[in-house]
Structure 1
Amino acid sequence: MKKVFISADIEGVTDVVSWGETVPDGHMYAEAARQMSLEVAAACRGAFAAGAEEIIVRDGHDNAMNIDHNLLPRGVKLIRGWGGTLLSMLEGLDETFDGVIYIGYHSEAGSDKNPLAHTSCYPKLDHVWINGERMSEFMKNSYNAAKLGVPVVFISGDEAICDHAKKYIPQIGTVAVKKGVGDSVMSIHPADACDLIEEGVKTAIAGKMGGHIAIPDEITLRIEYQKHADALGASSYPGVELISEKIVEYKTNDVTEMVRAYNYMV
């Protein structure tokens, strides 16, 4: 595996437990962003140790300007800011990559396994379902990767998202850095998290782990908003049906069109 793409988020990073830690002007944001950077750096070291020759990191959180490039190994390229494409957290990924890695990922909207559980937009969305199952950012991004033919090989984050990922890609490598209980998390030591991520990525790449999420032939996307006005606005997208005051539904047989509709609606 010579060319590796890393997508990073912050809500699944070690010790991060509050929304304040996830925004630039929030309490302890600097510490959270530093740990995010260190966990990404660990993944890069593991990938290089397994033989990767090119690594591109996509900062996928909030304004996409959280990772300190100076904390990453020399030679690693970093994508900051949003380009506005359908790939979103995977912007920069194409068919030339050999594998995708997720760092700092978190449980989906509606989950009680991480105080910061959400899908794409908190607090705008209460729930997101695809074919009756709660959709995570892991799922949405993995559909995009599968469409491009690039396998997902590793994920780190909260315990529940790691279990969730194994459900859809059984051979994926995982490192759970924390477990959520109510509005709390119990995390492993930050340095231990980095060691485990480095070794986990190295093992996953060297062992040719990972795979593709199965893309459904028929897709029903359903979104429940906190505000009824947002649901009404989303229903203006072609093919989107308002099925209750706060819930919209969209059906398609093309995952790219599902992502396009989803990005519009959120």
Structure 2
Amino acid sequence: MKIYISTDIEGLAGIVDWDMESGDTEIFRNLYNEQLEWVLEGIQKSSVNEKITDILLVDSHAKGNNLSYDRLSDFDDRISLLSGWPREDYMMSCLDNSFDQVVFVGYHAGIGKQGGNMDHGYSARSAYKIWINNKYQNETTINVAYASEVGVPVTLVIGDSALKEQLIDEHMFDSPKYVTTKKSLARYAALSFPRKKVRTATIDAVKEVLQNPAPYSTLPIPKLPARLKVQVYNTAQADAISQLQDINRIDGRTIETTANSIHDLMNEILAIVAIGGTQGRFNGA
């Protein structure tokens, strides 16, 4: 068996503000690595542990240079670590149909979610809202759609309460097992649950989905070719992005394009936010 783990930080317990990355870097990195170790503990304690040959960890926050290769490799010698930026498919790089399950760790609410802690979509510096075929999407649902296109189920999501509301209560993607790490209160405020509680819940959930993946399913792939619409933060970003040949500008801050696959659509988004990020400095990731 091969397990794919895509990671982010905004949905982790103990992290509530992007300023922690520069102001409390050591604490920030420890929280990130530690909560991934809880996922690895769940794998090691599962009844299928001996069948698992490969575990790919994908560092998908900011420039993807946050996780410790030495620390995580010492914890489990099956670990491969994917780091760095820019890279194709970013949060889902190197996923193929040889993997058996995908797990999302540290995922967060999409932009505009009331009470969402550090809510954003791929980049808090450039992307505001994202729609596929006129339906609002967040990072999680787009990444799940890509995994579905590849043919690998996303069985477990670990993140904040606001993302759980979007996925489960609002039925954006209500089939995965979900572990809630903190109660989101505002963009820069959250109530992180007791460490022991989150660790135990994480270990138990990982064991459950590995030992019984049947209840969990892929997300239906949006109708293709898909219409992608992105609202960026300011008109300067739209000015730059709209110079690309395949981009149609709808209004001052909104651009659109089409894609023939979720793979192409996701990489269009990544290119759009990368270009948009060069047009000014903003708080966030």
Q: TM-score, normalised by structure 2?
A: 0.85
Q: Does the aligned pair in 2 maintain the 1:108–1:134 contact within 8 Å?
A: no
SS of residue in 2 equivalent to 1:19: coil
Number of equivalences: 261
Q: Does 1:230 align with 2:237?
A: yes
TM-fit CA distance, 1:155: 0.6
- From 168, 183, 188, give the equivalent of 1:179: 183
231-240 vs 8-17, greater mean Cα deviation: 231-240
Q: Does 1:206 align with 2:211?
A: yes
Alpha-carbon displacement from aligned partner over 1:22-44 (angstroms, at most 9, x marks no partner): x3xx1223212211111111112
Q: Does 1:264 align with 2:266?
A: no
Corresponding position of 1:141: 143
SS of residue in 2 equivalent to 1:185: strand
Corresponding position of 2:34: 38
Residues of 2 paired with 1:241 and 1:140: CA distance?
21
- From 178, 184, 197, give the equivalent of 2:202: 197
**What letter corresponds to residue 115 of structure 2 in structure 1?**
K
- Unaligned runs of 5+ residues in structure 1 are none
Q: TM-score, normalised by structure 1?
A: 0.91
Alpha-carbon displacement from aligned partner over 1:93-115 (angstroms, at most 9, x marks no partner): 11100010010011111222323
SS of residue in 1 equivalent to 2:130: strand
Q: Does 1:82 align with 2:78?
A: no
Corresponding position of 1:3: 2
Residues of 1 paired with 2:6 and 2:141: CA distance?
13
Q: Does the aligned pair in 2 maintain the 1:5–1:99 contact within 8 Å?
A: yes
Corresponding position of 2:103: 101
12-21 vs 67-76, greater mean Cα deviation: 67-76
Q: For residues 226 and 171 of structure 1, do their structure 2 counterparts lie closer, same or farther at Cα, with a shift above 3 Å needed?
A: closer
Alpha-carbon displacement from aligned partner over 1:212-238 (angstroms, at most 9, x marks no partner): 111111422211111102112222333
Q: Does the aligned pair in 1 maintain the 2:122–2:270 contact within 8 Å?
A: no
Q: For residues 60 and 252 of structure 1, do their structure 2 counterparts lie closer, same or farther at Cα, with a shift above 3 Å needed?
A: closer
TM-fit CA distance, 1:83: 5.8
Equivalent positions of 1:22-171 (< 5 A) are 23=21, 26-50=22-46, 51=48, 52-72=52-72, 73-75=75-77, 76-82=79-85, 84-85=87-88, 87-166=89-168, 167-171=171-175
SS of residue in 1 equivalent to 2:23: coil
TM-fit CA distance, 1:202: 0.9
**What letter corresponds to residue 239 of structure 1 in structure 2?**
D
Corresponding position of 1:244: 251
Aligned residues with identical type, % of pairs: 22
- Unaligned runs of 5+ residues in structure 2 are 274-285
Q: Does the aligned pair in 2 maintain the 1:38–1:71 contact within 8 Å?
A: no
Q: Does the aligned pair in 2 maintain the 1:127–1:225 contact within 8 Å?
A: yes
**What letter corresponds to residue 218 of structure 2 in structure 1?**
H
Residues of 2 paired with 1:31 and 1:224: CA distance?
34
SS of residue in 1 equivalent to 2:30: helix
SS of residue in 2 equivalent to 1:155: strand
TM-fit CA distance, 1:211: 1.7
| Off by >6 Å, runs of 4+ in structure 1 | none
Q: Does 1:221 align with 2:224?
A: no
